[in-house]
Amino acid sequence: MTQLVAGVDSSTQSCKVTIRDAATGAVVREGRAAHPDGTSVDPRHWWDALGTAVAEAGGLTDVGAVAIAGQQHGMVALDADGHVVRDALLWNDVSSADAAAQMVEEIGRESWVARTGLVPVASFTGTKLRWLRDAEPDNAGRVAAVALPHDWLSWRLRGYGPADESPLGPDLDALATDASDASGTAYWDPVRREYDPELFELALGRPMRVAGSEPTADTVVVPRVVAHDEAMGTLDVDVTLPNGSVAPSGLVVAAGLGDNAGAALGLGLAPGDIAVSLGTSGTVFGVTATEVLDPSGTVAGFADGTGSRLPIVTTLNAARVLEVIGGLLGVDHDALGELALQAPAGADGLVLVPYFVGERTPNRPDATASLLGMTPGTTDRPHLARAAVEGMLCALADGLAAVEGTGVTVSRLLLIGGAARNEAVRTVAAQVFGRDVLIPEPGEYVASGAARQAAWALTGALPSWDIATTTVPADPHPEVLEQYRAAAR
């Protein structure tokens, strides 16, 4: 008999649900719902979108297990009654940039890397807690638990929440997460695989305790970390989602994971594989069995969804760059790509440094974008389109170089995300990266990774699901990256 599993990708922009055959990975049905814009969002919107996407995907009544992969780092602060204290600050909110700098100053970069595998920047949960402590002390005093987006959604899906909204009520000790998401908080150690209570208290100014441990006075609950191949639990009651869908009693809820770890699992990345993901933001990540330490903070040494490490570099500006320049030129992504291919590699010296919303890598939260090398011959539509595509990819090429600089070997480079479907992006990627670029078949790889994890929890074995790829041959143009680096100093 066919067993079905569900994978959820609750991203910054939307919620996607995929229902798959647990054995083969074949897609049975799918659903999607939008999230609101902004960098500070009421988590209720995620819960509503999950209900809509599940309903569009045909529901969960015939599904054996589900896992939720979610955007990392978002600060979901709960009070003792399970209510959200304030809108969640998302990973791309830079309000806590000054708080991050203070925290680095207080104990030093080397100490942060040794204890957490990362150097705090505005994206990480711990810096948002410091901002909350300083900017909203009354709200900080109300916090009884801190969760991440996927933790909170899984908690709600399992029947927990405010008493008037959930069958099981506000049991904060039922909060759970996984190693990949915990490793992006800046108060969890991916080597010892445990929380660092001193760093949590450094952030919020109050002590923490792990869900399920002995309660003590004035402590703040953090989710217990569930093993990647285990489940958070099995539903004991039917849970009604927004839009009327039902998560049935007996449904297994797997550990879930952070979105990048979900994509790595969905792609089946092995050591030596590096993925470059082109969403609104951009990421470069891979899988390695060895410890990753980068005192510069460029590469974060997260945990992955299998027990290995997930070295990762993140930029705030990826497909966003194409959207901004496409809007300026009055064209969509496809037409922008056609224009870009009319200009030569290097755009005759026109360079776009694409820090439209500041930047995380390099850590320049207050930066703005710059266009350099404008002459009468380069200030036209094709050259500007070419500079946009090259600027986006050069920023990520620097990320790839940083990952390699930690000792990670790159044998295969995979390009994923919506922008990877653009012919110009593929062509320029092979030039900027200077190596063969593999393009997996289009798919929702974060949701697929969550579904694969759900199958693991349901059956006890991680399934192998085939993925077709095409290859864009290497066409090195080192001058493109050289001129970008000179402009981006």
Q: What sign results for the dihedral spanned by CA atoms 98, 103, 108, 112?
A: negative
Q: Do you find a cis peptide bond into 362, omega within 30 degrees of 0?
A: yes
Closest CA to 39 of 310, 281, 259: 281
In sequence order, what are the residues at sequence separation of 6 or more whose Cβ sits closer than 8 angstroms to the Cβ of residue 463?
22, 23, 24, 25, 452, 455, 456
Half-sphere exposure of 147 (CA within 13 A, CB side): 32
Catalytic residue among 9, 87, 196, 259: 259
Residue 198 CA to residue 208 CA, distance in Å, equals 9
Largest CA distance in the chain: 70
Closest CA to 396 of 284, 275, 254, 473: 284
Residue position matching structure tokens 């309660």: 215
CA distances from 428 to 10, 312, 354, 481 (A): 30, 22, 16, 11
The encoded tokens of residue 27 equal 């897609």
Q: Answer yes or no: are the C-beta atoms of 297 and 111 closer than 8 Å.
A: no
9 is catalytic: no
Residue 312 CA to residue 285 CA, distance in Å, equals 4
Residues labelled catalytic: 259
